Amino acid sequence: MTQAAPIAHRAGLVRGTLVVFRRELAAFFDSAIAYVYLIAALVLLASLYMNEFFLTGRLDMTPLFDTLAPLSIFLLPAVTMRLWAEDKKSRTFELYVTLPLRAGQLVVGKYLAALALYVIFLAGTLPIVAMLLSLGDPDLGLIASGYLGALLFGGLLLAIGTFLSGLTSDQIVAFVSSVAFGFALVFTGDPRVVAVLDGMAPALGAGTWLADSVAALPHYENFLRGLVELSSIVWFTGLTAAFLWLNTLVVARVRT
Amino acid sequence: MSPMIRVQDVTRDFGSVRAVDSVSFEIGPGEIVGFLGPNGAGKSTLLKMLCTFLPPTSGELAIAGHDVAREPLAVRSKIGYLPEHNALFETMRVSKLLRFMGEARGLGGAYLAERTEWVAEAMTLQSVLQKRVSECSKGFRQRIGLACALIHDPPVLLLDEPTHGLDPLQVVAFRDFVRGLAEGRAILFSSHILAEVAEISDRLLVLQEGRLCLDEGLASLQARAAAESSTLETLVLRTVQDARRTA
């Protein structure tokens, strides 16, 4: 008997994470769902953008990124809802957690697979950039900043969705709770919501407090204006890391 | 010789229900041990604790000298585990599933290819390698589960109801196959069919309502049964009934 060492020990964390990443990414494309999902989401986003483009006639991708935020609230939980919930329902969770891999490797591998699918989706919007370039001279810095914002914002929603999927064996519960979380993140930053919440209890200033400390929208809008601020990058990556860490704790503890 | 599997005074509670109650035993290399008991006796719970999926409420478990609670990664690299429900990634092709299981256990390159070929041949999976798991029959699925458990050539095999879903010919082939695997390896497999356990095992462990009520070599049991002009089945049944009365 030739014994293989635990992958977490022998080749560091990266190799085991990549093994999980490849399996999870392949699982998305094992059925037609990922293809249908990508095409439908791209057609929807591009249609909404092109409508705005023909109305304004501006060589600007900001309306696309503006539309992407509320759309992501529904699109990304559809990607993450199956990540853990399906494994728990079909009992493949037992198969996963009895492999010589750390909980962190499983979580990051699954998260990166979802992120890769999202990057493929974002890459699907690049023909729009090509179209704008062929029509004139758009602000490429602004476009790049918008893409960075979309990546960070989507990355956070995916981390939240992956975490919530780890709490349940029901994909619908995972989807609905992720959508609710996404709504809270986006709409607590909407000036109308802030005004309503502040108006309900002026002494508390709950709306302003939520917009300042919880809402993702102000940070996301910085990127749409071309402002790549370190504080916003840290805000997104810090929260993403926090949810992945929480997910790792859940996966490690779920066996007890 | 140090034991490959050591279970020391292990108890597992689920809320107010005691599923496993102060169980102790050791299994050495080369031993095939049948784990017998009615449904709900605690067999699967004990196997889940040995494979690190469930922690014990109290007591200690060790695999190949590694403590299950303190060194779970080392334990997982030493075991091949076939769970009771044998859940597999349904949409994966069998060849890719075997590759994934090997890679996740640290195998790679030529050795992984060699092991994949070996388990595919040993489990006669060649005809389904390019099929998706969901397209395979129950018998094939069970053999795929066994192939996944064996891909890394583990020194300890934990098999929960391994013949479930196999037809009689496949059961006979499985018995021969398991006997062939025994050298240098500790094999613990659960079943609720005595005849099946008696065919393969060197030793019998019987669980009744979470308690170990019998731990004896098969030869000794058969000799006792012969001395009493009884059958192995009657002897084991009487032991279980005595344990139930005592409890």
Cα dihedral A179→A181→A183→A185 (10° resolution):
-140
Measured between CA atoms, the residue of chain A closest to residue B158 is A98
The DSSP result for A132-193, as a single string, is HHHHS---HHHHHHHHHHHHHHHHHHHHHHHHHHTT-S-HHHHHHHHHHHHHHHHHTTSHHH
Res. A122: pLDDT tops 80: yes
Query: What number is the average pLDDT over the span A20-46?
Result: 91
Please enumerate in sequence order all residues whose Cβ is within 8 A of that of A51, keeping only pairs 6 or more positions apart, or say none: none
The answer to whether A94 contacts B53, with C-beta atoms less than 8 Å apart, is yes
Whether chain A has a CB inside 8 Å of the CB on B100: the answer is: yes
Q: Does B149 touch chain A (CB under 8 A)?
A: no
Please report which confidence band the pLDDT of residue A12 belongs to, taking 50, 70 and 90 as the band edges. low
Residues of A in contact with B74 (CB under 8 A): 6, 100
Q: Is B46 on the interface with A (CB under 8 A)?
A: no
On whether any CB of chain B is under 8 Å from the CB of A130, the answer is: no
pLDDT for residue B183 is more than 90: no
A11 pLDDT higher than 60: no
Of the candidates B54, B91, B104, the beta carbon closest to that of A19 is on: B104
**Number of C-alpha atoms within 13 angstroms, CB side, residue B63?**
29
Count, residues in chain B = 247
pLDDT score of B37: 87
Kindly state whether A91 is in contact with chain B, defined as any CB-CB distance less than 8 angstroms. yes
Highest mean pLDDT among A3-7, A160-164, B136-140: A160-164
pLDDT of A8 higher than 70: no
Which of B69, B106, B94 shows the shortest CA–CA distance to A105? B106
Residues 71-90 of A with CB under 8 A from B: 90
Residue A201 above 90 pLDDT?
no
Cβ within 8 Å of residue A52, ≥6 positions away: A63, A64, A67
- The pLDDT score that the predictor gives to residue B33 is 95
Tell me the shortest Cα–Cα distance from B99 to chain A, in angstroms: 10
The answer to whether the Cβ–Cβ distance between A6 and B74 falls below 8 Å is: yes
- Structure confidence at residue B34 as a pLDDT band (50, 70, 90): very high
Question: Which residues of A fall within a CB distance of 8 Å from B91?
Answer: 27, 30-31
Nearest to B87 by CA among A84, A106, A96: A96
* % pLDDT > 70, chain B: 99
Domains along chain B with CATH numbers: 5-86+154-246 (3.40.50.300)
CB contact under 8 A, A27 and B89: yes
Question: Under an 8 A CB cutoff, do B154 and A1 touch?
Answer: yes
Whether the predicted pLDDT of B228 surpasses 90: no
Does B54 lie at the interface with A, CB-CB under 8 angstroms?
Answer: yes
Q: What is the pTM of this model?
A: 0.90
pLDDT, position A2? 47
State the smallest CA–CA distance between residue B198 and chain A in angstroms.
26
- Which of A132, A145, A114, A122 has the alpha carbon at shortest distance from A224? A145
ipTM of the complex: 0.88
Q: Is residue B241 predicted with pLDDT exceeding 60?
A: yes
Of B48, B77, B148, which is closest to A5 when you measure between CB atoms? B77
d(CA A86, CA A149): 30
The per-residue pLDDT for range A127-157, each reduced to its tens digit, is 999 999 999 999 999 999 999 999 999 999 9
Please indicate whether, in this complex, the C-beta atoms of A97 and B53 are within 8 angstroms of each other. Answer: yes
> Residues B76-117: pLDDT tens digits?
999 999 998 889 999 999 999 999 999 999 999 999 999 999
- By Cβ distance, the residue of A91, A100, A256 closest to B105 is A100
Mean pLDDT of A65-83: 94
Distance from CA of A15 to the nearest CA of B (A): 9
Across the A:B interface, residue pairs with CB atoms under 8 Å apart total 97
CA neighbor of A221 nearest in space, from A53, A66, A29: A66
pLDDT at A256 over 60: no
Residue of chain A whose alpha carbon sits nearest to that of B49: A255
**Of the candidates A7, A92, A256, which has its C-beta nearest B89's C-beta?**
A92
- Per-residue pLDDT, averaged over B12-22, amounts to 94
| Per-residue pLDDT at A208 | 86
Nearest CA in chain A to B53: A255
Mean pLDDT, all residues of chain A: 90
State the average pLDDT for chain B.
91
pLDDT digits (tens, 9 = 90+) for B112-167: 999 999 999 999 999 999 999 999 998 899 999 999 999 999 999 999 988 887 88
pLDDT at B229: 84
> Is B73 in the A-facing interface, judged by CB distances under 8 Å?
yes
